[in-house]
Amino acid sequence: MEFLTEHFDDFVNGFFRSLSIALWGAVGSLLLGTLLAVFRVSPIPVLQGFGAAYVTLVRNTPLTVLLFGMAFGVPGLGINASFYLFGVVTLILYTAAFVCEAIRSGIATVPIGQAEAARAIGLTFGQSLGLVILPQAMRSVVPPVGSVIIAMIKNSAVVGAAGVGSDLFSVYKRMTSALGYAPLPVLTAVAVAFLIMTLSTGALLALAERRMAVAR
Amino acid sequence: MRLIRSAALAGAVALALSACGGGEDIEAEAPEPVAAEEAEFEAGSTMAELSEAGEMTIGTKFDQPGFGLRGLDETPDGFDVRIAQYIAAQLGIEADKIKWVESPSSQREDLIVNGDVDMVVATYTINDKRKERITFAGPYYVAGQQIMVKKDDSTISGPEDLKANPDVKICSVTGSTPAENIREYLASPDQLVTFEVYDDCVTQLENGQVQAVTTDNVILVGYVAENEGKFKLVGEQFTEEPYGIGIEKGDTAFCEFINESLEKAAEEGYYEEAWKETAGAYEGTEVPELPELEPCA
Amino acid sequence: MSAPQAVLFDAPGPRARRRILIASVVAGLAVLALLVVAVLRLVERGQFDAEKWAPLVDPSTKEFPQVWGLLLDGLLVTLQAAALAVVASLLIGVTLAAVRLSLGRAGRMPLVALMELLRGLPVVVTILYVYVVFLATGLDVEQFWALVVGLTLYNCVIIAEITRAGVQSLPKGQVEAGLAVGLTKSQVMRLIQLPQALRAMLPAIISQLVVILKDTALAIVVLNSVHDLMWHANKIRIFLDNPLQTYFVVAVIYILLNLVLDRLAHWTQRRLSRAGTEKVVDEANAPVEGEPRRSTTA
């Protein structure tokens, strides 16, 4: 465990780097995913089609293909940004497809009577979605969206491979190769760091779930 | 489009074709090391095992012009490859009985420790930390780290300019010695971008995603020559990198055998010839002499 | 599919139809504009140039057979890794579920802890861990197996969870009837509960195959000598210097494969629901990125 004492700073930096990738990823994918879900349940066929096509294409492509396509393809189009940004954007684009599906399944759990009642009192699509359906759907959406976010935290481990650097995985590679530490203890520390992120998120979600659960 | 790439590809295809047809002698200029006919080794030694098997697995880089570069077909070429072929030949192993495994910087020790390869010849800097997990034969060459930038770049003229320009990103390979060496010249670790292979760094230099690439001079010279007129080297060499041949830790007999082979290669003129045809073909390189070998311990 | 959105708005009348038409046209134009901007940018940057595409799509170029030969080699490795991981995950996963269900609260604690651990780790970390443990124990194993074992460790836990949910969704009477006719508990599990649960969970399990197939492409991040589709894609991209084109083609290959699996899932689901004797567990129909919903009745 000498690497921990000798390079504790690098390790902590790596942890926060990975954490920040995951945090921005969560915020972005929740926003984009919700937008896509609204598209998919809207009465406008073009938007429905766009949402469906996006989800189908993105959900069936491996994250690494998207990531490398972004990091090598997009600069070739004359668009330059940091690899950190490219990585976070890829993570958002990818995760949003799953968030969209989770939210859509949540909307499906709201009893039909609610939507019918909303329409009966004359609410428009936007009003019935925004005031009646989504607030209720949010409750049943928490578990599946939570699972998506946990999966995303885990996926954030991949992002470092496309030039991001100084995330937990890059720290691992530096320690074991350039600095020559034995791999097993370093990797164990990396694993523990990720477990801290995923398990604590899981616990938070379980708490939120219990708080929001309502007997129907 | 990097023109030279398609040329390399065409060359690779030509090589593959000639290997099948056997008619054309595009390959003829390559000095085929002659496999030792009756190599005899102490029973139980690595040499005996390999010689007996008649084949071996060698790790090298697949992306380093001049040292180890592989086309779309299966056989890489370069100085490292030629050195490895010579050592294999001393074991009685023909060039076509060698299985090549790509060994990026971050995975070389693992490949050796795991027994995935019999040896690694891959611009592999000898250092003490690495010696804790593996044993080095050699060195067979001493390189020095330098910086490559775009031809029209005038902000960076050496490693010292990196601190003054904190927006500049510099690229090297994940877990490599050059990536580690450059750290002390940076204003913040964020300036360092790492990829698995140097080709990716060069692509990103072209893309404008990074402003500099750093690694050993000989590798950079290859890229400068390959991408005519796009890049240049700046500043002095600021490190000394003795390249060794990585083998399983503690295999002193094999290490000594490799060192003897290296000396023999130098004596026979193979070393110099191999250099001239690979890394030495690039402008700005000098024919090296075999450095003083480290004792095998 | 249309059930949830159909309730959100009335069958449109003439005025609403007109509004929807206008909104459709606006949205259509917006999407079109986005596409046009993207295409223009691609054209301007020479991304449609023949030299970028020809090696991938024009059989008369000398690179074409080489490139596709490599892609097919890679595809084969990808399919092998996925198939092995799927079979192993199924066998181990179902066994795990059965063991977990048959153990008492105290007895299953260590098992549950281990499963939670595996579920909490990124798959890349698990794959690398397997490889590093291989290294540490001096086992001479190819990296390919580190990928297969890593994927299996993660996915068998997911399959176990899916199976457990399936078993728990069965009516209690099934077990009681089994015990009443003199079967042992393990016989009830093997002969009555598991077959029914598996049948109900089949679509969910097939959807999990998509996840496994996609996850084989993670090998590139941590291993270097697994020559799967993604590995070859990276090499080809470097040699042809056409990242967008190469990754596009590779993405299409993955998408097509996954859509075939998806069809299969739908087809099985329809067949099963037509049979009508099984209650397909709703929850399991859309596993989300390898994380089936946590059951609240743990």
Per-residue pLDDT for C4 more than 50? no
Instruction: Read off φ and ψ for residue B58, nearest 5 degrees.
Output: -125, 135
A119 near B CB under 8 A: no
In the structure encoding, which two tokens stand for residue C65, read together? 């057979």
Type of residue found at B206: E
Element (H, E) at B135: strand B134-143
Any domain includes B297: no
Which residue among C70, C135, C241 places its CB closest to the CB of B114? Answer: C135
Per-residue pLDDT for C29 more than 60? yes
Which pLDDT band, with edges at 50, 70 and 90, does A1 fall under?
A: low
Q: Which long-range contacts (CB under 8 A, 24 or more apart) does B278-281 make?
A: B278/B66, B278/B67, B278/B77, B278/B78, B278/B79, B278/B81, B278/B82, B279/B66, B279/B67, B279/B78, B279/B79, B279/B218, B279/B221, B279/B222, B280/B79, B281/B66, B281/B225
CATH number at residue B88: 3.40.190.10
Using a CB–CB cut-off of 8 Å, the residues of C that contact B are: 51-52, 62-63, 66-67, 70, 131-132, 134-135, 138, 140-143, 224-225, 235-236, 238-241, 243
What pLDDT score was predicted for residue B2?
A: 41
Any domain includes C212: yes
Any domain includes C238: yes
What pLDDT score was predicted for residue B38?
A: 57
B105, B110, B227: best mutation site toward chain C, by most C Cβ within 10 Å? B110
Residue C62 with chain B: CB contacts under 8 Å:
10, 13
Instruction: Identify the domain containing residue B169 by its residue range.
Output: 145-234
Any domain includes B183: yes
Can you tell me the distance from the alpha carbon of B7 to that of B225, in angstroms, rounded to the nearest whole number?
Answer: 13
Can you tell me the distance from the alpha carbon of B263 to that of B137, in angstroms, rounded to the nearest whole number?
Answer: 12
Positive or negative: CA dihedral C98, C102, C103, C105: positive
Tell me the count of B-C CB pairs closer than 8 A. Answer: 53
* Same domain assignment for residues B125 and B250: yes
Greater confidence (C214 vs C103) lies with C214
Any domain includes B25: no
In the structure encoding, which two tokens stand for residue B80, read together? 């490292």
Instruction: Read off φ and ψ for residue C49, nearest 5 degrees.
Output: -60, 145
Element (H, E) at C74: helix C63-102
CA distance B285 to chain C (A): 25
Residue B62 with chain C: CB contacts under 8 Å:
235
Residue B197 with chain C: CB contacts under 8 Å:
238
* Same domain assignment for residues B255 and B275: yes
Provide the domain count of chain C. Answer: 1
Given strand B119-125, what is the order of strands in its sheet? Answer: B98-102, B56-60, B119-125, B241-248, B134-143
∠ CA C275-C276-C281, nearest 5°, is 110
Residue A69 with chain C: CB contacts under 8 Å:
243-244, 247-248, 251
Average pLDDT score over residue span C287-293: 44
Residue with tokens 């301007």: C44
Show the low-confidence residues of chain B (pLDDT under 50): 1-30
* Same domain assignment for residues B120 and B248: yes
* Same domain assignment for residues B151 and B210: yes
Greater confidence (A85 vs A178) lies with A85
Which residue among A80, A176, A182 places its CB closest to the CB of B175? Answer: A176
What pLDDT score was predicted for residue C270?
A: 80
Instruction: Identify the domain containing residue C152 by its residue range.
Output: 68-285
* Same domain assignment for residues B69 and B206: no
Say whether B101 and C51 touch across the interface (CB within 8 A): no
CA distance C233 to chain B (A): 11
What pLDDT score was predicted for residue C89?
A: 93
Any domain includes B101: yes
Average pLDDT score over residue span A24-34: 94
Per-residue pLDDT for A94 more than 90? yes
C176 near A CB under 8 A: no
pLDDT digits (tens, 9 = 90+) for C112-167: 899 989 988 999 999 999 998 988 887 777 889 999 999 999 999 999 988 888 88
Any domain includes B222: yes
C2, C9, C43, C48: best mutation site toward chain A, by most A Cβ within 10 Å? C9
Say whether C225 and B1 touch across the interface (CB within 8 A): no
Say whether B195 and A180 touch across the interface (CB within 8 A): no
Can you tell me the distance from the alpha carbon of B292 to that of A91, in angstroms, rounded to the nearest whole number?
Answer: 50
Which pLDDT band, with edges at 50, 70 and 90, does A105 fall under?
A: confident
CA distance B1 to chain C (A): 6
- Give me chain A's average pLDDT, please: 87
What pLDDT score was predicted for residue C245?
A: 92
Domain boundaries, chain A: 17-164
Type of residue found at A168: L
Greater confidence (A164 vs A66) lies with A66
Per-residue pLDDT for C238 more than 90? no
Nearest CA in chain C to A40: C5
CB contact at 8 A, B121 and B62: no
Close Cβ partners of A38 (under 8 Å, ≥ 6 residues apart)? A129
What pLDDT score was predicted for residue C136?
A: 80
C262 near A CB under 8 A: yes
What pLDDT score was predicted for residue C63?
A: 84
A165 near B CB under 8 A: yes
* Same domain assignment for residues B195 and B169: yes
Q: Give the 3-state secondary structure of residue C105.
A: coil
Can you tell me the distance from the alpha carbon of B104 to that of B99, in angstroms, rounded to the nearest whole number?
Answer: 16
* Same domain assignment for residues B209 and B269: no
Nearest CA in chain A to B131: A180
pLDDT digits (tens, 9 = 90+) for A31-48: 999 999 989 888 888 899
* Same domain assignment for residues B51 and B121: yes
Nearest alpha carbon to residue B156 among B167, B140, B172: B167
Close Cβ partners of A102 (under 8 Å, ≥ 6 residues apart)? A33, A141, A144, A145, A147, A148, C288
In the structure encoding, which two tokens stand for residue C86, read together? 């799927």
Task: Assess whether the previous peptide bond of B139 is cis (omega < 30° from 0).
Answer: yes
C17, C208, C288: best mutation site toward chain A, by most A Cβ within 10 Å? C288
Element (H, E) at B64: strand B63-64
A6, A177, A190: best mutation site toward chain B, by most B Cβ within 10 Å? A177
Any domain includes B29: no
Close Cβ partners of C10 (under 8 Å, ≥ 6 residues apart)? A119, C16
Question: Chain C, 63-122: which have a CB under 8 Å from a chain A CB?
Answer: 116-117, 120-122
∠ CA C82-C87-C90, nearest 5°, is 120
Neighbouring C-alpha atoms within 13 Å toward the C-beta of C184 = 4
ipTM: 0.88
CB contact at 8 A, B198 and B217: no
The CATH superfamily label for domain A17-164 reads MetI-like (1.10.3720.10)
Quick count: other Cβ atoms within 10 Å of Cβ B286?
7
What pLDDT score was predicted for residue B37?
A: 58
Any domain includes B288: no
What pLDDT score was predicted for residue A122?
A: 83
What pLDDT score was predicted for residue A92?
A: 96
pLDDT digits (tens, 9 = 90+) for C82-118: 999 999 999 999 899 888 888 878 888 888 899 989 9
pLDDT digits (tens, 9 = 90+) for B144-201: 899 999 999 888 888 889 999 999 999 999 888 899 899 999 998 889 999 988 889 9
What residues form DSSP beta bridges with B68? B64
Can you tell me the distance from the alpha carbon of B186 to that of B167, in angstroms, rounded to the nearest whole number?
Answer: 10
Provide the domain count of chain B. Answer: 2
* Same domain assignment for residues B53 and B92: yes
* Same domain assignment for residues B151 and B224: yes
What pLDDT score was predicted for residue C137?
A: 82
Can you tell me the distance from the alpha carbon of C192 to that of C181, in angstroms, rounded to the nearest whole number?
Answer: 12
Type of residue found at A97: A
* Same domain assignment for residues B149 and B132: no
Per-residue pLDDT for C277 more than 60? no
Close Cβ partners of B3 (under 8 Å, ≥ 6 residues apart)? none
Say whether B209 and A13 touch across the interface (CB within 8 A): no
Say whether B110 and C135 touch across the interface (CB within 8 A): yes
C236 near A CB under 8 A: no
Any domain includes C292: no
Per-residue pLDDT for C284 more than 50? no
Positive or negative: CA dihedral C36, C37, C42, C45: positive
Which residue among C124, C135, C290 places its CB closest to the CB of A151? Answer: C290
Which pLDDT band, with edges at 50, 70 and 90, does A124 fall under?
A: confident
* Same domain assignment for residues B130 and B88: yes
Can you tell me the distance from the alpha carbon of C193 to that of C173, in angstroms, rounded to the nearest whole number?
Answer: 11
Q: CA B277 from chain center: how many Å?
A: 14
Taking each helix axis as running N to C, give the angle between helix A83-109 and helix A8-41, from 0 to 180 degrees, rounded to the nearest 10: 40
CB contact at 8 A, C227 and C74: yes
Per-residue pLDDT for C34 more than 70? yes
C254 near A CB under 8 A: yes
Can you tell me the distance from the alpha carbon of B176 to that of B229, in angstroms, rounded to the nearest whole number?
Answer: 27
What residues form DSSP beta bridges with B170? B192, B212
What pLDDT score was predicted for residue C162?
A: 87
Tell me the count of A-B CB pairs closer than 8 A. Answer: 72
